Amino acid sequence: MRPILPALALIIAPLAAWAESGMCEYRHPAHPSWDFFASCSVTETSAVGATTREVIVSNGSRFTTRDEPGEASVNGRAALRLDRSDAACWRTEAEGELICIYPAETFAPSAPPPAAGPGSDFAPGALAVGNAFGGGTKGFCLLAEDGVLVEQGPCIRRENCLEIAAGEGVSCLVNYDWQSGRTTEMASAEGWTTLDGAAAIQGDPGCVLDPGAAIVFCHSKTAITAETHPVLARLGNQTPAGAVAPAPEGEGAVAAPTGAE
């Protein structure tokens, strides 16, 4: 059962309550494809000896945390409150799920981009988006379905990798937040990759393919052209109505690893 989605309503006599926005992270060690990192709203209520947070995530997930002296819970399940300075985090005792709530200001730009010369991974004007959840780097994304270009344009890549277990490798969750508002999510570990929750395989360099739905997703630190990405040449001029046009060459300096890893 996927325990993070059902919400447990907790009713208490409040002493103080307030709402705020932030970013929420969920990771399940046995089901990395369930993981997400998305914006959320948090309503916090304080009562004598207890603090309750009711959370609604932009992807539709909901959960409730409760902290009391010496114990904590998430959706009614026993959890350990983690000692973190950057976020409020819990790990459930039964399944080891990690749940974190980051304040919105965590992801504000914290420093100017480093100076760089031609050819550097940090191009002039690149923006350090923040270091939580692996930070964020600018790049370009492409999405096609059934041989037709759906969207192409600037995006920001955010990555989070955690060790699965001692000596068993790592699992990674990568979000691509498009300038248009679209979000593409990839999860991966040794031997498998998912694209928006579906099994995916490596395609052309910098691209992954969901063969079941005939979906291709590509990411690059530079503008995607037919010369750099053969998939674009194969798509030709088949651009559906409403598709987002690619950004002009050179628009938006970038600082992102090449490839949709």
Q: Is the pTM of this model over 0.75?
A: no
The HSE-up count of residue 126 (CA atoms within 13 Å, CB side) is: 28
3-state secondary structure the chain: CCCCCCCCCCCCCCCEEEEEEEEEEEECCCCHHHCEEEEEEEEEEEECCEEEEEEEECCCCEEEEEEECCEEEECCEEEEECCCCCCEEEEECCCCCEEEEEEHHHHCCCCCCCCCCCCCCCCCCCCCCCCHHHCCEEEEEEEEECCEEEEEEEEEEEEEEEECCCCCCEEEEEEEEECCCCEEEEEEECCEEEECCEEEEECCCCEEEECCCCEEEEEECCCCCCCCCHHHHHHCCCCCCCCECCCCCCCCCCCCCCCCC
* pLDDT tens-digit map of 103-132: 876 544 333 333 323 322 222 222 233 333
pLDDT of residue 24: 86
Structural domains in the chain, CATH included, are: 16-105 (2.40.128), 109-261 (no CATH)
* pLDDT tens-digit map of 24-82: 888 888 887 788 877 789 999 988 889 999 999 888 889 999 999 999 999 999 999 99
